[in-house]
């Protein structure tokens, strides 16, 4: 049984799971599907072809599934998919995909999107990410798993941020941020490994291997792509290989900054 406030508007065709709670003045469009035990707070609008999984908490004044902010959009059939156990705070804006980007925006499981976060069209987010207040992801951005984005941080179109990466608040990301790394600043240069996040989630041997690889890749002044290829061939660490594969496949480049002695 769902709990629906009498002022809510739910169009025919919308699908609500068991124990869904819909607050005052909520609008649910005909193409929307909401999974069990999800709550939608007051003054939220959910539109378009939007699928929301189980156990999500959606706070007030969010706009979810509205048409993409892309001048090329011409009414195509596009989609927004949200997984399970996500927390979507106040004044969130989530757009579906576009024909040019695969037609899908997708959010995984267990993510926390704080107030005023915007996810543009064709964004892909993995699991257990945290986006602080005012983080803004432009179209076609991709985040891995366990990524942390600081508040008031914009991320440029087509950027890719790897697993367990962290970007400091009020940074500006214009290039790819490799997995396991920390970046900050106006150009979001690399500042080292995200050691706090790694220590919470990885074995010491993996962290030590990543420390060695980071020094070789970013601190010794050698060609990064060549070092990445060498490490791919020689390293036995799966984490190091993941880091090097990311670097080798980067389309926007890696914004690394060498140590002061090498500047």
Domains of the chain: residue spans and CATH: 3-140 (2.160.10.10), 198-262 (1.20.1180.10)
The residue with tokens 């106006």 is 186
How many helices and strands in the chain, by DSSP H and E?
4, 27
- Residue 261: pLDDT above 50? no
Average pLDDT over residues 138-160: 98
Asked if 158 and 141 count as a contact pair (C-beta separation under 8 A), the reply is yes
- Residue 262: pLDDT above 50? no
State the average pLDDT for the chain: 96
The pLDDT confidence band at residue 258, using thresholds 50, 70 and 90, is low
Q: What is the pLDDT of residues 179-228, one digit of tens each?
A: 999 999 998 999 999 999 999 999 999 999 999 999 999 999 999 999 99
Asked if 255 and 237 count as a contact pair (C-beta separation under 8 A), the reply is no
Q: Which of 139, 144, 162, 197 is catalytic?
A: 139
- β-strand 32-34 against 49-52: which pairing, if any? parallel
Q: Which of 48, 101, 120, 122 is catalytic?
A: 122
Respond yes or no: is residue 139 known to be catalytic: yes
Respond yes or no: is residue 121 known to be catalytic: yes
Cα three-residue angle 54-59-60, rounded to 5 degrees: 140
Task: Show the tokens assigned to 48.
Answer: 């378009």
Q: Considering the entire predicted model, what is its pTM? A: 0.96
């Amino acid at each position: 049984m769902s709990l629906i406030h009498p002022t809510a508007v739910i169009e025919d065709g919308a699908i609500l799971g068991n124990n869904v709670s819909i607050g005052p003045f909520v609008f649910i469009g005909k193409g929307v599907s909401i999974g069990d035990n999800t709550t939608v707070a007051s003054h939220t609008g959910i539109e378009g072809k939007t699928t929301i999984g189980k156990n999500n908490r959606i706070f007030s004044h969010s706009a979810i599934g509205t048409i993409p902010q892309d001048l090329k959009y011409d009414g195509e059939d596009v989609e927004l998919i949200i997984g399970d156990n996500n927390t979507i705070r106040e004044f969130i804006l989530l757009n579906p995909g576009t024909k040019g980007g695969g037609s899908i925006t997708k959010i995984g499981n267990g993510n926390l999107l704080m107030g005023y976060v915007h996810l543009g069209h064709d964004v892909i987010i993995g699991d257990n990410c945290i986006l602080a207040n005012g983080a803004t992801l432009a179209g076609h951005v991709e985040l891995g798993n366990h990524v942390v984005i600081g508040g008031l941080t914009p991320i440029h179109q087509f950027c890719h941020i790897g697993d367990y990466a962290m970007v400091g608040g009020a940074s500006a990301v214009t290039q790819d941020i490799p997995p396991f790394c920390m970046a900050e600043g106006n150009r979001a240069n690399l500042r080292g490994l995200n050691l706090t996040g790694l220590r919470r989630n990885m074995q010491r041997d993996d962290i030590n291997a990543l420390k060695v690889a980071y020094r070789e890749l970013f601190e010794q002044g050698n060609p990064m792509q060549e070092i990445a290829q060498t490490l791919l061939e020689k390293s036995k660490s799966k984490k190091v290989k993941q880091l090097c594969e990311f670097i080798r496949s980067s389309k926007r480049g890696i914004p690394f900054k060498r140590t002061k002695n090498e500047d």
